[in-house]
Structure 1
């Protein structure tokens, strides 16, 4: 089976690629920059140049492909908008996959996307799910809540460095999941007939609020967090101002997602039946406690080693330091 992975250089996509390669799939990755994706080639993937926003590049990438795992999404730093990448680009990919005779299409959506029609990314994900279901392709939709990897920059690093940790509103509890575990579900879906033309929640073992995560980070790091609260009304005002300028559209759409995270409604879903269908064990899923414990343990160990080396070097310099005075012969 030849597998095309879209978005393979991203946080999730690279784990999907790694998992698929390890399980023996012939993996092809659609990339905009071969240089940036060089690590994928080293792993054993074939690189093909292409861009979701350039539909004419997709046919060649899909030639001979049996299945697609689509992990592509716009980034906050992109010049392209959410609409261009997550809607127009995804529609072009689905149409090209159908034309190429692709047998399976795995798509990552967001849990509860249908409950937030006023949030652009959520509404676009909902519409893409519908478009995919109506395309006639044999699909599987995996609805995610959030990545554990994102918590390092949001909480872990600021707490270690004594920088402010920003939270908004009531802070919706989120069932974060390690991208390595999400990759297991995505690749497994290719070989489980029961996942065909189905939609599943794929979320972590429990939902965590911002305050719970901060408390856990404080305990594991031994440092106190400097928590700052951002009024949701201020974010709404910034979003309205950003919408006046074309360069601010992407920022405004991203800020809209804070409405979800500040609503107080959990981003979570039932997983017991999902584990049964996919034939995976819940006990093997990484918990947030173990993920952060490993991160802080590794970082704190490194800091201790650096401090030891610094002290050792300083002591050595002091011992070898020569006196500016000459020895006086007292005989």
Structure 2
């Protein structure tokens, strides 16, 4: 088995890479900037330079590869549009995988993508699912809801830095999961025959509302912070403004994800059959409580060692 991981420097991709190497797999990573991916080489992965917008580089990267895990996506702060990477790039990758006669192909979509045709990222993910299903590849589609790691920037850091936390109201609860646990499903999918040409929702132990996450972070940190609601109308206006500038296209397209969060449709799923199929145990998955406890314990200990004093808030007048 020779595994190529696409998107290996991302939040999820790096955890998949680490888990695959720890499991003894021979791993190659398709990277655009080798200097920024040196940590992957230190872990034991081979780096091959290329990107999804250059089909020729994909063919070169697949030489000697038998399996692919695709965890790549556009970055909200990047210059490329969602269509460039998440559609045209993925189509090129899938077609190259067919030419190379790849034995297993694991693709990451998003739960409920089919329900949001007006949200670019969700619509493109769903279209990619259908395109993959039209091929002869032995694929597995994994559909997570969200990552614990992203909650650090959204909630934990603002609480520690005395910043106001902006939330979009109480709407769609999300069953986030630790990317280290999601990586287990991705690597298992490579060898479990029952996952061939099937899709699986990947949901964490509990679906969380923003207010619940804030209360959890406040309890873990021993601090309280202000919150403010971000009206959906304001987000829509900001998106229209961003679309007027080339540098804001990717950001604007990502902002439409607010429509998903405001829909009221929970991003959650019953995982009983999935755990059984993948031969994994729910009790072995990280809870958000334990994840946040470990994070705050580590950070607060470091701040104490540095004798950090929380700055006082000055009056505006």
TM-score (norm. length: structure 1): 0.91
Deviations 1:40-69 (A, max 9, x none): 111111110111001111111001111000
Displacement of 1:139:
0.2
Distance (whole Å) between structure 2 residues aligned to residue 91 and residue 252 of structure 1: 23
SS of 1:298's equivalent in the other structure is helix
| Structure 2 residue 10 is the aligned partner of structure 1 residue 10 | yes
Q: Name the residue aligned to 1:315.
A: none
Distance 1:251 1:179 in 2: 23
Determine the C-alpha separation between the residues in 2 that align with 1:7 and 1:250. Answer: 17
Question: For residues 159 and 98 of structure 2, what CA distance do their matches in structure 1 show?
Answer: 47
Structural mapping, 1:58-137, within 5 Å: 58-137=58-137
**Aligned pairs (5 A) from 1:275-294:** 275-294=275-294
Contact 1:4 1:27 in 2 (8 A): yes
Aligned residue in 1 for 2:25: 25
Deviates more, 1:263-272 or 1:199-208: 263-272
- 1:216 aligned onto 2:216: yes
Give the match's secondary structure for 2:140.
strand
Find the counterpart in structure 1 of residue 238 from structure 2: 238
* Alignment-derived partner of residue 180 in structure 2: 180
Q: CA RMSD in A?
A: 1.2
2:163 aligns to what? 163
**Structure 1 residue 17: deviation in Å?**
0.5
Whole-angstrom CA distance in 2 between matches of 1:161 and 1:240: 30
CA distance in 2, matches of 1:133, 1:195: 13
- Give per-residue Cα distances to partners, 1:158-181, cap 9 Å, x unaligned: 001110111013342110000000
1:237-267 C-alpha deviation (Å, 9 max, x unpaired): 1212323333332122111001111222211
How far apart in 2 are the matches of 1:68 and 1:126?
19
Indicate conservation of the 8 Å contact 1:2/1:64, yes or no: yes
State whether residues 170 and 263 of structure 1, in contact with CA within 8 Å, keep that contact through their aligned partners in structure 2.
Answer: no
The answer to whether the 8 A contact 1:28-1:48 is kept is yes
Shift of 1:79: 0.6
Q: 2:225 & 2:146 partners in 1: Cα distance? A: 22
SS of equivalent residue, structure 1 residue 77 = coil
Alpha-carbon distance, 1:152 to partner = 0.5
2:267 maps to 1:267: yes
Residues 176, 204 of structure 1: 8 Å contact kept: yes
C-alpha distance in 1 between matches for 2:216 and 2:171: 16
- Unmatched runs of 5 consecutive residues or more in structure 2: 310-317
Structure 2 residue aligned with 1:316: none
For residue 302 of structure 1, report the CA deviation from its aligned partner.
Answer: 1.4
How many pairs align? Answer: 309
Q: Distance in 1 between matches of 2:120 and 2:195?
A: 28
For residues 207-243 of structure 1, the C-alpha deviation after alignment (integer angstroms, 9 at most, x for no partner) is: 0000000011111111112101111111111212323
Q: Following TM superposition, by how much is the alpha carbon of 1:36 offset from its aligned partner in structure 2, in angstroms? A: 0.6
Kept after mapping to 2: 8 A contact 1:148/1:177 = yes
Identify the range of structure 1 (134-143 vs 244-253) with the bigger mean alpha-carbon deviation.
Answer: 244-253
- TM-score, normalised by the number of residues in structure 2: 0.95
1:27 to partner: Cα distance: 0.3
Structure 1 stretches (4+) deviating beyond 6 angstroms?
A: none
On the 8 A contact 1:169/1:263 being kept in 2, the answer is no
- Alpha-carbon distance between aligned partners in 2 of 1:298 and 1:249, rounded to the nearest angstrom: 37
CA distance in 1, matches of 2:38, 2:302: 28
SS of 1:207 mapped into structure 2:
coil
The structure number with the bigger radius of gyration is 1
SS at match of 1:266: coil
Partner of 1:37: 37
